[in-house]
Amino acid sequence: MTRSGRVLLHMPQHLADEARLPQFYRTIARGLHQRGAEVAVVHRQIEALQGLPPGPDFHLVHNGAAQGASLLNCAIAYLAPYFYADPQGIYFESRVTASRFDPTLQPEAQMMRRFQMLRARYVEPRISRYTQPAPVQSYPAGAIAVFLQDWSEPVARARHMMAAEMVQTVVAGAMGRPVVIKPHPRTRGLETLELLQDLTLQHPEVIVTEGNLHDILASAAVCVTISSSVALEAMLHRKPVVLFGRSDLHHCASTVRQAADWPEALRRALSQDWPFEAFVYWFCEQHLRGGKDMIAPLLTRMRAAGADFAALGL
């Protein structure tokens, strides 16, 4: 078989080097190579990928929102083992964002089994995508739990307002409920550090903690975030979610686009009977890819996106 095309991993400049390639893409590259493909890392140029014409190559775009022939946008999804391989984008730009969710159509036995599996994987051992403190801490019952996110390309594109305005809106409209705020475990941004400093001075009653997110969610009444994976973890705790950004989790959450939306979004979150089990199954099993073998589901998505397997040597 004569191979005429390659699988190209489109990475931002600081990752466009095989030596700096994240483990997620190393696994993809190794798996595709073992199946006969030539894989190369190239510098991601989003504008050049839009409307890409058909050709022998196939394009995997990190954190992308490009749409073109033989192309998938990729990223690790909210919780392992799931990941995106989507022809439109990732997170709020993925195809699932505009998809219709009907909880009555989800198979009850499968959805309960998947929900319990994820609870056993994350909630019961109190682990998350990022390392969480082991010591158990207690927090006020019925609190509004706010989870901050550090800067990233997807977060910057998703958020409806800056983190400071989100926190000010929540604290001002807490309606007597305690507010617990957890910075992101990888917080390095000046925006977050300044926000927490101002918050300590202006609102000493607000609890700022680096504690285990599962302890916070266990006692909270509601979870607030821009678009973080903690929203999905809150659903595993059967706690309602309010999003301050665009998200493909919006089907099972309230959303705040401007500060004036907060009171109604909070009321709706606390008063509605949310179909958490059905949504988690629908979202993870029907729209993401996952499993011990990443390559098999990726190849299925590549074929659906127009990959020429003969040209790629697959």
At 18, the pLDDT band (50, 70, 90 cuts) reads confident
Greater confidence (252 vs 129) lies with 252
**CB 223 within 8 Å of CB 145:** yes
Q: Which pLDDT does position 189 carry in this prediction?
A: 63
Where does the pLDDT of residue 1 fall: very low under 50, low under 70, confident under 90, or very high at 90 and above? low
Q: Is 133 left (phi over 0), alpha (psi -120 to 50) or beta?
A: beta
Q: What's the mean pLDDT in 93-106?
A: 96
**pLDDT bucket at 290, cuts 50 / 70 / 90:** confident
Q: 193: pLDDT confidence band, cut at 50, 70 and 90?
A: confident
User: Three-class SS string for 216-238?
Assistant: HHHHEEEEEECCCCHHHHHHHCC
pTM value is 0.91
Residue 108: pLDDT band with limits 50, 70, 90: very high
CATH class in words for 103-285: alpha beta
Q: What is the pLDDT of residue 133?
A: 95
Average pLDDT for 166-185: 94
pLDDT category of residue 19 using cuts at 50, 70 and 90: confident
Each domain of the chain, given as residue ranges in start order, spans 7-98+288-305, 103-285
3-state secondary structure 83-131: EEEECCCCHHHCHHHHCCCCHHHCCHHHHHHHHHHHHHHHHCCCCCCCC
Contact in structure between 28 and 298 (CB atoms under 8 Å) = yes
**Mean of the pLDDT values across residues 162-170?**
93
